[in-house]
Amino acid sequence: MRPNTQQQSPDQSRASLYNEVTERIVIELELGIVPWVQPWETSGVALGLPRSAATRRNYSGINILILWNAVITRGFASQEWLTFRQALSLGGHVRKGERGTVICYADSFVPRGERERSREQGDAPSAVPFLKRFTVFNIDQCEGLPAYIAPPPRILSEVQLSPDAEALIAATGANIVAGNGDAFYNRAEDVIRLPTREAHVSTADFYCTAFHELGHWTAHPSRLARDLQNRFGSEAYAREELIAELTSAFLCAQFGIVPQVRHTDYLGHWLKILKSDARAIFHAASQASKATDFILAFRHPEPPPA
């Protein structure tokens, strides 16, 4: 029998990648492992957002979870990544025999025929989404790279204050009211309510909680305008909780704070959603990256017009 050499269509390739990533995350959740709350302290792995060692830009969306998984499972000491050609451009190279990690780039384009149809009919053209795979290597898999590529890792202790995190929370201008009771974001009042700092089990726990609620805060119509008018316990509510969970994890990693699961009671909901929709985790991670970038932008506000 002749081997099947037929290549996958773009639609098949996208579906395959969605399924591969989602199936791995489902397996981990069923084992009690939360992919965005890795065992950082016991793994000896550097905590932080994965980024390109060449461009110094953080990866976003589902690629964060893919690269975090690779770092943990393969024991890499760095969150810095390169393509094969980028390693060469920096004067180094990927060691022979090393196996890379496949990540993805999502975008869309408007075919020529669609542009012509749009001009003829006078309506807006429809874009075609695509998902492109490419391979990156951790700098631990490379040789000959400049010394500045790998900064020393830093993890915040359970009691240590983070001046950068404190400054960011203040810079957002979010209306945060501290007091007794549960942590939640009130959309109607546009207010975040948090227990007092003393009520949290640690400083890290406070930051994780504050970042989670700031994730919900970004959904306000004046910000990223996600729909928060969903019944507690509904699937839509659980999807928004997943976005906030990921936002908290991404922000915590940015500041060297060990992420935590804020709502373990939603693990069952998330498993149900992921099993029924292979794209759900991609969407949630994408929305969480947008929320993270929105919040981090307050660190560098645009200068006033001259």
8 Å CB contact between 300 and 177 = no
Quote the pTM value.
0.85
Give the confidence band of 179 by pLDDT, cuts at 50, 70, 90.
confident
Q: Is 7 exposed, middle or buried (0-12, 13-18, 19+ CB in 10 A)?
A: exposed
Nearest to 287 by CA among 19, 18, 62, 16: 62
Provide the residue ranges of all domains of the chain, joining segments of one domain with +. Answer: 49-152, 154-306
Tell me the sheet residues that pair with 109: 128
Q: Roughly what angle, to the nearest 10 degrees, separates helices 235-254 and 203-217?
A: 130
pLDDT in tens, 148-175: 887 665 656 655 788 999 999 999 999 9
pLDDT in tens, 129-142: 777 889 999 999 99
**What is the distance between the alpha carbons of residues 290 and 285, in angstroms, rounded to a whole number?**
9
- Given a cut of 90, whether residue 111 has pLDDT beyond it is no
- Given a cut of 50, whether residue 5 has pLDDT beyond it is no
**What is the distance between the alpha carbons of residues 121 and 123, in angstroms, rounded to a whole number?**
6
**What is the distance between the alpha carbons of residues 238 and 228, in angstroms, rounded to a whole number?**
11
Phi and psi, residue 33, nearest 5°: -100, 120
**What is the distance between the alpha carbons of residues 233 and 261, in angstroms, rounded to a whole number?**
17
Q: What's the confidence (pLDDT) of residue 4? A: 44
Identify which has the larger pLDDT, 7 or 74: 74
Give the confidence band of 100 by pLDDT, cuts at 50, 70, 90.
very high
Q: What's the confidence (pLDDT) of residue 10? A: 54
Identify which has the larger pLDDT, 84 or 235: 84
